[in-house]
């Protein structure tokens, strides 16, 4: 019964994340990962922290942080439309764990580009290969925004340790 409840909570979180991200029309740029060194090429900024910049109209722009911890294998890279299975552990910036497919022992499957997950995930897996491990640092604007989501407070930066299990 407890496992069923956890799975239901995860499903509700994904659906709500989808709903929230569909209403957000602004899209933040993605920090590009170098294919040669697999490191973020962003001067004077930590690898796993989102970046704030001010544009001429003084709006904050937040960027997704991507750190490749372990390179994947094979020639196939994730692109929009792919069905992928991933293991993940989600934490807040204070280290509080809020969800983990690893703890449940079941990878999470979703299709890239279909709005099934938060924008930080939609963008953060593009270009990854099977077996690749990444740390995604997702600003609130690419996560759940200004709304509470279960144990996740509004305006929270989310940190996900992710591993690509399969690409279909």
Residues taking part in catalysis: 88, 98-99, 118, 144, 160
- 133 CB burial (10 A radius; 0-12, 13-18, 19+): middle
Q: Are 67 and 134 in contact (CB under 8 A)?
A: yes
Q: Are 131 and 96 in contact (CB under 8 A)?
A: no
166: nearest Cα among 84, 79, 88, 80: 84
d(CA 101, CA 99): 7
């Amino acid at each position: 019964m407890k496992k069923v409840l956890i799975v239901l909570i995860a499903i509700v979180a994904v659906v709500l994340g989808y709903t929230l991200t569909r209403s957000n029309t602004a899209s933040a740029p993605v920090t590009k990962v170098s294919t040669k060194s697999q490191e973020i090429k962003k001067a004077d900024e930590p690898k796993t922290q989102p970046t704030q910049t001010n544009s001429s109209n003084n709006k904050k722009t937040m960027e997704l942080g991507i750190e490749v911890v372990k390179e994947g294998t094979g020639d196939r890279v994730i692109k929009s439309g792919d069905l992928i299975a991933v293991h993940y552990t989600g934490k807040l910036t204070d280290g509080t764990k809020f969800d983990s497919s690893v703890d449940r022992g079941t990878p999470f499957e979703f299709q890239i580009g279909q709005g099934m997950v938060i924008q930080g995930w939609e963008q953060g897996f593009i270009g990854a290969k099977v077996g690749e491990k990444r740390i995604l640092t997702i600003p609130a604007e690419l996560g759940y925004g200004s709304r509470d989501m279960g144990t996740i407070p509004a305006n929270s930066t989310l940190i996900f340790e992710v591993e690509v299990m399969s690409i279909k």
